[in-house]
Amino acid sequence: MPELVIAKDLPAKLIGRRIPNIPLESTEKNWLKKAYLAEYIGEAAIVGVFPLGVGFREVPPLEWTEVEAIDACMEQNRELRNKHHGMKTLGINIVALSVQTRVAQLEFAQEMNLPFPLLSDPGVTLAEELGLPTFRVGSCRYYQRLLLFCVKGKVAGVAYPVSDPKRAIADMAACIHEALIDRVG
């Protein structure tokens, strides 16, 4: 069974932590809606956290390529999109989150044809509440790429750092699948 490794700089105490019920803006159903993160978690969910996607109107900072590869953010969301149907049949929601505005998130979701909601957290509130890793480019603060697996409102697994989104998501899906088989068997 693939293991989800918690990096040294991401505290192990994240496992078991309750997802805070913070209000965020959403792209759900291609209309803009205020919602609470806990609503999207439900019984089980994968939360894909990423720094910034590429929208039509939002240009990434000039220093961006030195800090983070935008392609990897797109790849992470593409892989979550590819796993969406399979996870949904297992009763697992998928949601993604970044600091982009809800308008930029909506454009990104449409551009990427994402079947799951993107949540906008421009104040990095979730990072403050859970201690998630971030970085700065100029005056802007961004999330580092990571995946959270949440069960009944609590963090049950973490993939971080996510340098290879395809592999990280495949490993997380394998862990989830195996955990479900163990629970049934």
- pLDDT score of 58: 53
Cα distance between residue 55 and residue 46, in whole Å: 23
Tell whether 2 is covered by a domain: no
Cβ-based neighbour number of residue 91 at 10 Å = 11
Tell whether 5 is covered by a domain: no
Tell whether 84 is covered by a domain: yes
CATH number, domain with residue 114: 3.40.30.10
- pLDDT score of 70: 66
- pLDDT score of 182: 66
Provide the token pair at 22: 């913070």
> How many independent structural domains does the chain possess?
1
Tell whether 173 is covered by a domain: yes
Tell whether 118 is covered by a domain: yes
Q: SS3 for 49?
A: strand
Name the burial class of residue 176, with classes exposed (0-12), middle (13-18) and buried (19+) by CB atoms within 10 angstroms of its CB. buried
Would the CA dihedral through 34, 84, 8, 16 be positive or negative?
Answer: positive
Tell whether 6 is covered by a domain: no
Domain region containing 120: 12-184
Query: pTM for this structure?
Result: 0.87
As averages over each run of 10 residues, the pLDDT of the chain (185 residues) reads 45 83 81 75 92 62 57 89 94 93 87 93 93 83 90 88 89 80 62
Tell whether 4 is covered by a domain: no
Tell whether 142 is covered by a domain: yes
Name the burial class of residue 7, with classes exposed (0-12), middle (13-18) and buried (19+) by CB atoms within 10 angstroms of its CB. middle
